Structure 1
Amino acid sequence: MYIPKKYNEDDWDQSAFLIKNYPLGTIVTVEGDGIIANHIPFFLKVSDSGKKTLIAHMAKSNHQLPSLKSNKNVLVIFQSVDSYITPSYYPGKQETHKYVPTWDFASVHIHGTSKIVDDFDFVRNQLNLLTDQEEKLQKKGNSVWKVNDAPESYLKILQKAIVGLEIEVESFECKYKFEQGMKKNDIEGVVSGLVVDGKNEISRLTVEANARAQEKEKNKNIK
């Protein structure tokens, strides 16, 4: 992934944030006849020793399955919400007009080794972990749904059609592109403009990314 230095996030916590908050990943593999890509939700597991693993489930009929059985070259992409950034957001535009549109987003590329896990308990555990993670995010007042709320006989029938997937994380590249490097008043203009346009989530990401950038710069100067 192309990552200018000012947009690079080498702190794993920021990658984990993207995976947990935007769990629908794009999984990419290469076979003899070309590239295969699919979109499936993942759950991130981190062991006490620090081992990082992405787990998911896929349909047994998915044509990508053979390329995931034992593959040391798998790519999974996660991406935040994104937005077009109009030059009108920047206060500096009124002074020089030397501004053009851009697009802000965050993304992490996970590189790892995959294996298929055709095991009932593994799949059920993955379903429970992902469901519980997402149900916690539902609006207050809604009842929290559990996998075992569905009849067990029904769940077993559905599980026969899916298989588990495990990807051990080997490396990652993470990019947060949220106006870092711009003048303070222009960053503030983007933050405010996004809120006015109802894009509160990406406005918040812009604030947080620039706070981290400022902290990094401060620590660099101290050293």
Structure 2
Amino acid sequence: MYNSKPHQEHDLARLHQHMLHTRLATLVSHGEHGLLATHLPVLVTTGEGEFGTVYGHLARANQQWQDLAQGAEALLVFPGADAYVSPGYYPSKTDNPKVVPTWNYMAVHAWGPVEVIHAPTQLLDIVSRLTDRHEQGRAAPWSVADAPADYLDGMLRAIIGIRLPIARLQGARKLSQNRSAQDIAGVRAGLAASADPVDNQLAAHMRDL
């Protein structure tokens, strides 16, 4: 992705934190079936490999896995909070009206080869870990083991697992770093006062600048 120098994020711990808090990633690849993208929940294991390893699964009917099995490189996109930035947030516009709207956002891109997983035991481990992650905190968490065994076997036959050892990471934190401290404070205050909770999330991240 295009990412100008003021907005580049290189801190591995912060990149991992972003990935771990992303509930739905986008898997992009190009192969025999063309340019394909699948939206899927993933597991990020930060201690496995230099940059971490990502696990997930696709529907067997999804042709993307066939391209991945042929060695197509994949890109995983981890989106984050984003917000429209109005020129009205900049106190400096009073002295210099040469301002235009922009968009602030956070994102992480991860590239790597993909190992396709067929083994039922490995597939069961992936879906069980994914389920446990998202059921965590519920009063009565549901477990994959709660499903009838024969039904679960059929569901596992309908999916393909993926394992992506991350070869390269790129992070973007576009939070008005190219503006003055006064303008950054104005953007933060404007987004914090918004009725949109996603704007509020981005404003909270701007407190780290």
Which residue number corresponds to residue 66 of structure 1? Answer: 66
**Matched residues, number:** 206
CA deviation after TM superposition for structure 1 residue 87, in Å: 1.2
CA offsets per residue over residues 85-120 of structure 1, 9 Å max, x none? 111222222332222111111111111010111011
CA deviation after TM superposition for structure 1 residue 82, in Å: 1.1
Which residue number corresponds to residue 106 of structure 1? Answer: 106
Counterpart mapping for 1:56-135 below 5 A: 56-71=56-71, 73-135=73-135
- Residue type at the aligned position of 1:8: Q
Structure 2 distance, partners of 1:127, 1:41, is: 10
Distance 1:206 1:145, change over 3 A: farther
Match among 168, 185, 188 for residue 165 of structure 2: 168
Which residue number corresponds to residue 158 of structure 1? Answer: 155
CA offsets per residue over residues 54-108 of structure 1, 9 Å max, x none? 1001110101111111426221111102111111222222332222111111111
Do the aligned partners of 2:85 and 2:101 also contact (CA within 8 Å) in 1?
A: yes
Do the aligned partners of 1:55 and 1:164 also contact (CA within 8 Å) in 2?
A: yes
Which residue number corresponds to residue 2 of structure 2? Answer: 2
Which residue number corresponds to residue 12 of structure 1? Answer: 12
Match among 163, 168, 180 for residue 177 of structure 2: 180
Do the aligned partners of 1:70 and 1:116 also contact (CA within 8 Å) in 2?
A: no
Match among 193, 202, 212 for residue 190 of structure 2: 193
CA deviation after TM superposition for structure 1 residue 164, in Å: 0.7
Distance 1:87 1:129, change over 3 A: same
Q: Give the TM-score normalised by the residue count of structure 1.
A: 0.83
Structure 1 distance, partners of 2:2, 2:23, is: 22
Distance 1:48 1:102, change over 3 A: closer
Point out where structure 2 has 5 or more consecutive residues left out of the alignment.
Answer: none
- Residue type at the aligned position of 2:107: S
- Residue type at the aligned position of 2:63: H
Structure 1 distance, partners of 2:6, 2:203, is: 18
Superposition RMSD in Å: 2.0
Structure 1 distance, partners of 2:48, 2:123, is: 21
CA deviation after TM superposition for structure 1 residue 8, in Å: 0.8
- Residue type at the aligned position of 1:30: H
Distance 1:11 1:72, change over 3 A: farther
SS in 1 for 2:155: helix
Point out where structure 1 has 5 or more consecutive residues left out of the alignment.
Answer: 211-223
Counting aligned pairs with the same residue, the percent is 28
Structure 2 distance, partners of 1:33, 1:158, is: 25
